[in-house]
Amino acid sequence: MTTTDSLFSYAPSVVKSILLDSLLPQVEQLFESAQAGASERVLESGVWKVLLQFGRLLLTALFAMQARRATEQEIQARGLDGSQVSPRLDRDYLAKC
């Protein structure tokens, strides 16, 4: 999974499940490396890679939740409903080649 994958439209429980599912294979690989005799340096490097990737994905999901909440509050404050607005997403700004 990358941060360009759209988690914004999923329920928080689904996002949590996707995030955890992305983490488990990497943790399993680290355990296999340890059992196979990988050096401490290799294991430490592997752990940091997993933590940084997971942290990036987790922050992306959390910031998306905050953005969604702020957008919903703004729509409500303006007295609008969902049919009256069309939020622009990242894909609306990407060049179409």
pLDDT-based confidence at 93, cuts 50/70/90?
A: confident
Q: Is residue 35 part of a domain?
A: yes
Parent domain of 46: 12-82
Q: What residue type is 20 in one-letter code?
A: L
How do residues 35-83 score in pLDDT, each as one tens digit?
A: 999 999 999 999 999 999 999 999 988 998 898 889 889 999 999 987 8
Q: Confirm whether 73 is domain-assigned.
A: yes
Tally of domains in the chain = 1
In a domain, 94, yes or no: no
The span from the CA of 23 to the CA of 81, in Å, is 37
Distance of CA 10 to the CA centre of its chain: 11
Structure tokens that stand for 49 in this block: 């890679």
